[in-house]
Amino acid sequence: MTVSRPTWLVAAAVIIFAGLAAIGVYRPAHAAAPPSVIKIGTLYASSGTFAVASQGQYQGLQYWASLVNKDGGVYVKAFNKKIPVKIIAYDDQSSTTTATTLYNQLITQDKVDVLIADFGSVLTSVAIPLAAEHHMLLIDPTGSGANFFTKKTDYLADVSIPSSAVWPVPLAQFILAQKLKRVAILYDSNDFDASQAETLKSVLGQGGVTPVYYNGVPTTESNYAVLLHTIAATHPDAVLEFGYAPNDIAFLRDLTSSGLHFNMTFTIFPGQLISLITKNVGAKALAYTYTYPTPPLVRYPHVTTGMNTAEFVQAFTAANKVAPNFLNAAGYNNGLIVGEMLARAPQFTQLDFHSALMAMSGSTTTLLGAFKINENGAQLGELLPVAQIVPEGTANKFVVVYPQDKATGKAVYPAPQQ
Amino acid sequence: MSLLEYALIGGILYGIFFALVGIGLNLIFGVMRMINIAHGQFVLLGGYGAFLLSARLGLNPIFGVLLAIAGAIVVGLPLYYAVVPRLQASRDPEMLSFILFFGIAQMIDAILVAVFGADQRSLPQDALGSGNLSALGQSFPDAWWVAVAMSLLVTAALYLYFTRTRLGFATRAIIANRDEALATGIDVQRVSALSFVIGLALAGIAGVFVPYLLGSISPDIGNELTTTSFAVIIIGSLGNPLGTIIGGLVFGIGTLFMQTFLPSWSNMVPYALLVIIVLLRPAGLLGRAVRVT
């Protein structure tokens, strides 16, 4: 049998086209006709270590979707029309194993149009290689581990929290400005906390400060009594603990019950989940400790898209009968960024989505601050200042102490003994 | 030297508490040869009971100890008679109990999330004392000492039960050889039911103190408590409740020494010790063989 040249060429073209489609370089799925809904796939944790934070983030995204759908849907430039959004969400129970399976299901079975990771670096870490393998852009709300962003990629964008490579920079600068020389750093051994600790150590090192204590503990650590005693033996001026909310609770409770006192104590999650932490450790235990205050504690009045921070607080409170925390704001911000991305992407492809995000970078401000990502997908904007929690009557208030242009007061150092 | 002393004394206190966490699991295994994989969840129930007493009724959480005992009777007896005789009549009670209690653990987790939510809960920090007590110049929070005192009290009571009461003799006879105990006329079901209730009560009592030793409680820590308890009882002696004290001490001292000198590896301690013990002394430090193949 002979094959004519045109037939051979057609066959070759079909094979090449099929090959490109198989590896996902060419994704024509919605190029021809607009879909009836934009499918947004995400995970949340109803239980486990990350449940509280994850559910807050998910609730924020749901709130954004409800607002958008009330308005007829999200504007999609590729189809020049508004299309309703549908969130497809599964419960990973804070397990990376379960999350891996469910991310895979969202991509391959549900064939979602937009993929959003669950809360935090631990549950995001398993989504990154999967998304890249399937040529899906991963919207990464709060996975900030510095090692996620080490090379150029079209398939990852950290949208709602600064990368851990830049996040602790204001904190390090504050410590250097305070001329503190003896710094103890205790961190959880996970992508989020370890990379924050590493960045902090590096910036302090550039300022001539070498930590007197620098150790990691398991993320499941819940007993800090002996660790605190070991740290106290190094006579630090400042003790910085990088952990998740359960770690911060155990750390602060053990610090209170130990009778030890440090001139400066820093933890992360009081700035994000102040009511949870206060409920568990008490307002007195938080007095004069330091944290990163996050929106809505820090407010951005001038935004280019969506509600500003104050408007969001008012609207979210009215809709949900409870004031939002940072994770709610982060979840809402994910939706805003996705909405703006769809409104700008000329074609309905993952690569166009990524290009739209890059175009937004540097020119977009939301309720979380300036949106600025680099070619590795790291968030370099939305920087968080340093605040001290100061007693006010029987409660506490946040006083931003660094940087100077955002400061609302001066740091009380050394912290008075309670 | 001070760090070493602090880690040693802290490890002893921490270990004695973890003996209390594990001892109920060991009692149930010793008497019934059943693996209560929901043990950590029963510990949590004790913690949440104390939380309810404290947050809703304004009582001192120490009353959670009484609630744990009452709860163990109310929950334990029906649960025992509903499932254990059937399991023991099966071909492979150990494996079936593993599966059944896994299901119970999942149910308790789901109920706790539904009732209390997924977030962390704590007990009032000063409810068990707001100061520090010293031993050999090393001070630890009052709550640690109260937890240790309760552990020692409960262990002493269990020892007296085993060595001074007819039911205790019967329990030891069943632990030694269930078939022979049955042949000598011991009411094995009745003694086993009592042991099951005591085991759950011990778990619940330990739970009252978990928020003080581990910072807080949340529904997700049950499985971790179960695996740590397993490590403690295997190190001590599987099937020998009093051997749990030795297991707890080895675990506590090992963990706090690692926290002091090599903190990144501290959570590896119970499992590394478990592997070493299983390889060198399969019956545990104080044990004898508990399974006949």
* Annotated domain spans of chain A: 38-164+299-371, 169-291+385-406
Q: Which positions 294-353 of A are in contact with B (Cβ < 8 Å)?
A: none
Task: Tell me the mean pLDDT in the region A146-169.
Answer: 93
**Cβ contact A47–B118 (<8 Å):** yes
Extract the tokens encoding B12.
């002893």
Find the CB nearest A223 among B6, B117, B214.
B214
Interface confidence (ipTM) of the complex: 0.86
Give the pLDDT band of residue A32 (cuts 50, 70, 90): low
Structure confidence at residue B123 (pLDDT): 95
Residue B186 burial (C-beta neighbours within 10 Å; 0-12, 13-18, 19+): buried
User: Worst-scoring range by mean pLDDT, A334-338, A346-350, B46-50, B243-247?
Assistant: B243-247
Distance of CA B23 to the CA centre of its chain: 4
pLDDT of A17 reads 52
Higher pLDDT, B267 or A2: B267
pLDDT at residue A25, rounded to an integer: 46
Question: Residue B286: which pLDDT band, with cuts at 50, 70 and 90?
Answer: confident
Chain B touched by A165 (CB under 8 Å): no
Mean pLDDT of B136-154: 93
Chain A and chain B share a number of CB contacts under 8 A equal to 115
- Do B216 and A223 make contact, defined as CB atoms within 8 angstroms? no
Considering only CB atoms, which chain A residues are within 8 Å of B221?
222
Band of pLDDT at residue A19, cut at 50, 70 and 90: low
CA–CA distance, A366 with A344 (Å, rounded to integer): 16
What is the fold of A38-164+299-371?
Answer: Rossmann fold (3.40.50)
Contact yes or no for A48 and B259 at CB 8 A: no
Q: What is the average per-residue pLDDT within A316-327?
A: 95
Tell me what pLDDT residue B288 has.
Answer: 59
Q: How many CB atoms lie within 10 A of CB A147?
A: 14
Chain B residue numbers with beta carbons less than 8 Å from the beta carbon of A230 are 3, 259-260
Q: Is A250 on the interface with B (CB under 8 A)?
A: yes
Using a CB-CB distance cutoff of 8 angstroms, which residues of chain A are in contact with residue B3? 229-230, 233
Report helix, strand and coil shares of chain A as percent, to nearest 5: 45, 15, 40
Burial of A150 (0-12, 13-18, 19+ CB in 10 A): exposed
Task: Give the per-residue pLDDT at A6.
Answer: 53
Calculate the average pLDDT of chain B.
Answer: 91
Arithmetic mean of pLDDT, A364-382: 95
Contact B220 A276 (CB under 8 A): no
C-alpha distance across the termini of chain B, in Å: 48
Q: How close A245 gets to chain B, by Cα (Å)?
A: 9
- Chain A residue with CA closest to B214: the answer is A222
Q: How many CA atoms lie within 13 A of B195 on its CB side?
A: 31
Task: Please give the pLDDT value at position A16.
Answer: 56
Residue B100 has pLDDT above 80, yes or no: yes
pLDDT at A18 over 80: no
Chain A within 8 Å of B109 (Cβ-Cβ)?
Answer: yes
* Mean per-residue pLDDT, A66-82: 97
Percent of chain A with pLDDT strictly greater than 70: 92
* CB contact (8 A) between residue B219 and residue A49: no
- Cα–Cα nearest to B143, from B94, B195, B215, B73: B215
* Per-residue pLDDT, B207: 97
Please compute the mean of the pLDDT values over residues B76-94 and round it to a whole number: 89
At B49 the three-state DSSP class reads helix
- Residues 121 through 140 of chain B touching chain A, CB cutoff 8 Å: 121-122, 125, 130-132, 139-140
pLDDT at A360: 97
| pLDDT at A345 (0 to 100) | 97
pLDDT in tens, A179-210: 999 999 999 998 889 999 999 999 999 999 99
Contact A250 B214 (CB under 8 A): yes
Q: Average pLDDT, whole number, for chain A?
A: 92
Residue A5 binned pLDDT confidence (cut-offs 50, 70, 90) = low
**pLDDT score for B93:** 83
Tell me what the mean pLDDT of segment B47-57 comes to: 96
Confidence of residue A11 (pLDDT cuts 50, 70, 90): low
Which chain A residues are closer than 8 Å to B118 by Cβ? 45-48, 51-52, 55
> Residue A213: helix, strand or coil by DSSP?
strand
Count of other CB atoms within 10 angstroms of residue A180 = 17
Give pLDDT, residue A13: 55
Q: Does B90 touch chain A (CB under 8 A)?
A: no
pLDDT tens for each residue of B1-34: 588 999 999 999 999 999 999 999 999 998 988 8
Chain A's closest residue to B121, CA to CA, is: A280
CATH 3.40.50.2300 holds for A169-291+385-406: yes
Q: Write the pLDDT tens digit of every residue in A209-220.
A: 999 999 999 998
> What are the residue ranges spanned by the domains of chain B?
2-118+140-280
Q: Does B36 touch chain A (CB under 8 A)?
A: no
Judging contacts by C-beta atoms under 8 Å, the chain B residues touching residue A285 are 125
Identify all chain A residues contacting B215, using CB atoms and an 8 Å cutoff: 222-224, 246, 249-251, 253-254, 280
pLDDT at B292: 41
CA-to-CA dists, residue A382 to A124, A138, A243, A300, B118, angstroms: 19, 19, 20, 10, 28
- A257 contacts B125? CB cut-off 8 A: yes
- Residue B47 has what pLDDT? 97
In this predicted structure, the answer to whether residue A26 has a pLDDT above a threshold of 60 is no
Q: Pull the structure tokens for residue A353.
A: 């989505």
Average pLDDT over residues A363-372: 96
pLDDT digits (tens, 9 = 90+) for A164-178: 889 999 999 999 999
